[in-house]
Structure 1
Amino acid sequence: MIHANTDETWLPLYEALASPVRLSIINLLAADMMNVKELAESIGLSSAIVTMHIRKLEKAGLVQTKMVRKQGGTHKICSLAERSISIELPHMLDVKKVHEVSVPVGHFTEFEVFPTCGIATAEKMIGQFDDPRFFLEPERMNAGILWFGKGYVEYKVPNYLLSGQRPLALEITMELGSEAPGVNENWPSDIDFSLNGMDIGMWTSPGDYGEVRGRFSPAWWQDRINQYGLLKVIRIQEDGTFIDGQQMSVVGIGEIGLDRNFWSFRIGVKENAVHVGGLTLYGKGFGNYNHDIIFRVFYEDVRST
């Protein structure tokens, strides 16, 4: 599922949907995978024009393509990349009072990771594949992607709430996927989240996505390796903790100790999980969303009596 909002970065998605031809292509691909020639014949347009529409749908993350040998030739096969789209409009809380902090994925303060693993900036790999020592390399602070087979990374987030500001909800937004040797879109992984030492829930990632290049993958980033993840929004509020609107736990905003100077957020895959499928965390310069881990705390002013 694509989780979009009113940020301008989603304009390519909305532009891709604002076309009767592209909507027809989506409907055709919902029934079966097709090549460009088959799509052109079904719609009654030239292959060149259909190719232009496919590129816009690819840029929006709605369609994926791959080259397949078939009937003695090579064909560009098109298929849907997503099953649904969720558009989140601004909440009442969003347009009121909020403190926001963006934390780069390389700014972890504690970690324990096991191969397969790696870390990279938008310009180059940091060290070598499958060597956890490079997670201590100072250049990690510029990292835009990291991955590991099991273990965790932990981030310290400054608390900018002032005296008299009562937290109503905390949102954590990030792009996540599994970590398979190579890539495997059917590679479930149980990813755990904790805040200030308290478990707030678990989400099972469906797979490690790499068949199609990520929208923001650097030019040097090779194919057939982690390309993009799924955008996940964790929201901790009074009545529990939710991920994409689905409840993960009953842990509420009043139970996680937001009155300290900083918060500790840990994300990982436990060795005793049912699905030990690793974790890939995408930040700015990688994946499909081009942003780091975003923390938003919504609050209200409380007058002293």
Structure 2
Amino acid sequence: MQVEVSSRNIKFLECLSSLTRVKMIELLGVQPMNIKSLSEALDIKSPIVTRHIHMLEEAGIVRCESVPGKRGMQKICHLQLTQTMLLFKSSPAIDEAKRYEVSLPVGHYSSYQIKPTCGLASDTQMIGMCDDPRYFADPEHVQAKVLWFGSGFVEYRIPNYMVNNETPESLEVSMEICSETPCSINHLPSDIAFTINGVNVGVWTYPGDFGSTRGLYTPEWWHKNIQHGLIKTIRVNRLGSFIDGIQVSNVTIDQLMLAYDKQILFRISCSATAKNCGGVTLFGKGFGNYNQDIEVILRCQ
């Protein structure tokens, strides 16, 4: 996300002027929290927390939802943004950019090549048997809300809605992901690579150990080790390739060879020969902590 420093974005900018709101952003960057938990962590009263959260919601930094709790409904707060670029000078290219958005369910991969531990599950049941790669070809794989593999890759075909007179400015892909595989142990780091149209845009090493806390949206029937991951956002633009705002390579949008008449292939992989081969788990809607699929934004000029 890019925000111009101007009076029209004052609600967003004001959110960053409060130490309390910045501390809330830090806490929610670790995990979603309810109002009571934020109140206890910050040692301030719940009504004050609610007012700050309302400001963060209006600015689009935080999103909240009401879910059943032990004593009625409770408001769960999530960090909506993982990165923002402040623009002190407006860019015509950004102002005039056309935006295409699409959500890809994790089960809608177009190609795969994986090794166990592996498996898939819908929001109601397992799809096939655990540790049997053949079920990744089962027609039911499109219903998957979570999938995992020990090594190899899954590849997605991103719909390309560009028209022939447009030039791509940036491509952004975000997903909830972790390294550990649900039928294995939960302390393995993993070198996870992201590839677009055959070009390796970056590798991120996942730290591991996210199996101890139940996922906010994970179904009750799911009792495997891995419950949730973290949101990772890959962005490729004219400056290079970034993961959560940190540059990971010099690959630019031009090197991806995006054009209106060409498909866009996005691959997530973990090599068996990597220094850290801890596998990959992808969470979609109905699993994990963020209740989202693979979200794609393509901006064109």
Give how far 1:16 is off: 2.7
The two structures have a TM-score, normalised by structure 1, of: 0.71
How many residues were matched structurally? 241
Pick which of 248-257 and 87-96 moved more: 87-96
Structure 2: state its 5+ residue gaps.
1-23, 45-68
After TM superposition, the structure 1 = structure 2 runs for residues 254-273 of structure 1, keeping only pairs within 5 Å, are 254-259=254-259, 260-273=261-274
Partner SS for 1:207: coil
- 8 Å CA contact 1:144, 1:286 repeated in 2: yes
Structure 1: state its 5+ residue gaps.
26-50, 63-84, 301-305
CA distance in 2, matches of 1:105, 1:213: 20
Partner SS for 1:251: coil
CA distance in 2, matches of 1:280, 1:99: 26
User: Aligned pair in 2 of structure 1 residues 279, 19: CA closer, same or farther (>3 Å)?
Assistant: closer
Partner SS for 1:147: strand
CA distance in 2, matches of 1:106, 1:168: 28
Identity of aligned residues (%): 41
- 8 Å CA contact 1:116, 1:129 repeated in 2: yes
User: Aligned pair in 2 of structure 1 residues 14, 98: CA closer, same or farther (>3 Å)?
Assistant: farther
Partner SS for 1:116: strand
- Residue aligning to 1:182: 184
Matched, 1:16 2:17: no
- Residue aligning to 1:227: 227
User: Aligned pair in 2 of structure 1 residues 299, 182: CA closer, same or farther (>3 Å)?
Assistant: same
Give how far 1:136 is off: 0.8
After TM superposition, the structure 1 = structure 2 runs for residues 1-305 of structure 1, keeping only pairs within 5 Å, are 16=35, 20-24=39-43, 59-60=76-77, 88=84, 93=94, 97-180=98-181, 181-184=183-186, 186-222=187-223, 224-259=224-259, 260-300=261-301
Partner SS for 1:267: strand
CA distance in 1, matches of 2:287, 2:256: 31
Give how far 1:22 is off: 4.1
* Amino acid corresponding to residue 98 of structure 1 in structure 2: R
Structure 1 consecutive aligned stretches of length 4 or more whose deviation exceeds 6 Å: 89-92
* Amino acid corresponding to residue 156 of structure 2 in structure 1: Y
Give how far 1:115 is off: 0.8
* Amino acid corresponding to residue 250 of structure 2 in structure 1: V
Query: 1:103-146 CA distances to partner (integer Å, 9 max, x unpaired)?
Result: 11111111111111110000110011100011111111011000
Bigger Rg, which one: 1
- 8 Å CA contact 1:94, 1:298 repeated in 2: no
Query: 1:260-297 CA distances to partner (integer Å, 9 max, x unpaired)?
Result: 43201111101211101100011111111111111101
Query: C-alpha root-mean-square deviation of aligned residues, in Å?
Result: 3.2
- 8 Å CA contact 2:217, 2:289 repeated in 1: yes
Pick which of 291-300 and 86-95 moved more: 86-95
User: Aligned pair in 2 of structure 1 residues 155, 127: CA closer, same or farther (>3 Å)?
Assistant: same
Give how far 1:13 is off: 5.1
